[in-house]
Structure formats: structure tokens, C-alpha cells
Amino acid sequence: MRYWLMKSEPDVFSIDDLRRNQVELWDGIRNYQARNFLREMEVDDLAFFYHSNTQLPGIVGLMKIVETNVVDPTQFDSENKYYDPKSFAEAPRWQTVKVGYVATYSDCITLERLKQLFTPDELWVVRRGNRLSVMPVESAVAERIFAVAKALTLETSSSV
């Protein structure tokens, strides 16, 4: 089982939207490196949900991969923002996954916090100028993120 981090702009699609829908197709990825990671995903892999391009960027929750190698339908829809006229049904260029809601953390693990805790080699999202929206997270790093999430929850509940 592997761990991942996936970015989304909360104005477009947030952890609250995923909680409401429970399962969602992760569409619109049009970067080959990100797509290659999507292709590597397996059912039951876990992915951190990261809010980007927002007031308080950071990890806000957890999701699970529920279906893999899904052809992204938006590539064939000329009305869609993610339409790719160079992709053909016989050989679709863009595959993605369906994700399932697992949890929302009681507090956002902010980018600022992540930068304090992890080196750019450990967690790519803290790399300066990083634009990749889907990336792997090593197990040991994932475990440390889980520990931080747990500590935040305890902090919150004990301060009430």
C-alpha cells in the first residue's frame, strides 16, 4: 500500500465537497508526471488532500483510492475546460482515479508547519516553486503526518 498527496483548489473542489459526495472522479490532470503517478495508484492506497492556492494552504484530510485506471471523460468533451483535442478514444491520453472520503483533520496541517517538519526531499510539496499536483509520499513520512494530525486533534479537544 502506498501513500500520495493530491492538490486541489478549495474554490474548485474542497475536502467538504468530497465529504458531501463521498466518492469523486479526480479529473482535469493534464501534466504527464502527475498522470504517471495516477497510473501507479492502486485501490486502497491512501492520499492526503491538500488545499492549494488559498488563504491557508495545507493538508486538510485523508482519502482513499477506490478505483484506478479510469479514463478521464473531460478530455473528449469539447465544452470542457480540460478538453484535449489531441486525445482519441482508441488511445486515451489521460487516466485518473476515483477517490473516496476518509477523514477531515480537525485543523489544517499548514504548509508553514509542513516546511518546519519536512525537508524538500522528504515531502515534495514544500519544495520552492513546486507545481506538481499529484505526488508520492514515503511511508515513514506519511506516518509522521498521521502523528501530526493526531496531535492536532488532541490539542483541539483538550483546549475546549
- Residue ranges binding DNA (CB under 7 A): 7, 9, 31-32, 52-54, 57, 111-112, 125, 127-133
Least CB distance to DNA at residue 154 (A): 25
Residue (65 or 108) nearer to DNA, CB: 108
Which of the 8 DSSP states describes residue 91? Answer: B
What span, in angstroms and rounded, lies between the C-alpha atoms of 74 and 30?
Answer: 11
Least CB distance to DNA at residue 36 (A): 11
Least CB distance to DNA at residue 7 (A): 5
The residue among 61, 71, 67 whose CA lies nearest residue 103 is 61
* DSSP secondary structure string for all residues of 14-81: -HHHHHHHSEEE------HHHHHHHHH--TT-EEEEEE-SSSS-EEEEEEEEEEEEEE-GGGG-TTST
Residue (110 or 153) nearer to DNA, CB: 110
Residue (19 or 127) nearer to DNA, CB: 127
Least CB distance to DNA at residue 51 (A): 8
Here the cell at position 96 is 485518473
The residue among 112, 110, 137, 109 whose CA lies nearest residue 123 is 137
Here the cell at position 155 is 490539542
The residue among 95, 104, 33 whose CA lies nearest residue 70 is 95
Residue (54 or 67) nearer to DNA, CB: 54
Least CB distance to DNA at residue 95 (A): 15
Residue (95 or 130) nearer to DNA, CB: 130
